[in-house]
Amino acid sequence: MSTTILGPDGKPRCRWCDAAPEFFHYHDTEWGFPVSDEYRLFEKLCLEGFQSGLSWRTILSKRENFREAFCNFDYHKIANFTDDDRDRLLTNKGIVRHCGKIEAVINNAKRVLELVEREGSLAAFIWRYEPDEAELGEPQTASTSAASIALSKELKKQGWKFVGPTTVYAFMQAMGLINDHVEGCILRSQITQAKANFKRPGRK
């Protein structure tokens, strides 16, 4: 089976785009482009946690609702959420109403504040785990990697929740730490160039 599918413009994309119409835009404008923005990184870690056991289409369709519910994933604000905020979110039909996952976001916001106090930057910390491309196999053939296992282990050690190796690997794919666009996809070379031009946080 081919690893690509033709997009609306007749050019090849990763086959998973064909699963939903809205995936083409997400694939072409977000997935795999390197990100250094602290809030976007935290948002994606949270949303990948919410995706656990669900489809990305479900989460993507609710993303704006999640952003509204969680103050655009401003972890400074979320860290101050109370039990009343948790209970309020559990009644919000626009998001995934899973108590453990909601509590994990609140917990993880507090852990980010500790991490930033200790490390100076969430982005700089995350990008330390960017793997060498030589360590990676063929695109989209793995669900974890040595780097995702290591980052997951460290986050859990720091008290984060819903950050297993598979969740972290999906996060790394999406945020550009890994270029997992398949060979033949028109975005693969674009991501390669974007990563070449990207200034890694915390590095001179």
83-132 pLDDT, tens per residue?
999 999 999 999 999 999 999 999 999 999 999 999 899 999 999 999 98
Residue 12's φ and ψ, nearest 5 degrees, are -75, 140
Catalytic residue status for 39: no
pLDDT in tens, 41-54: 999 999 999 998 89
Catalytic residue status for 26: yes
* Identified catalytic residue from 56, 129, 160, 169: 56
Distances (CA, A) of 18 to 114, 128, 182: 40, 33, 14
Q: Please state whether the predicted TM-score (pTM) of the whole model is above 0.85.
A: yes
Distances (CA, A) of 64 to 42, 116, 187: 15, 26, 25
Catalytic residue status for 48: yes
Residue 78 tokens read as 């979320």
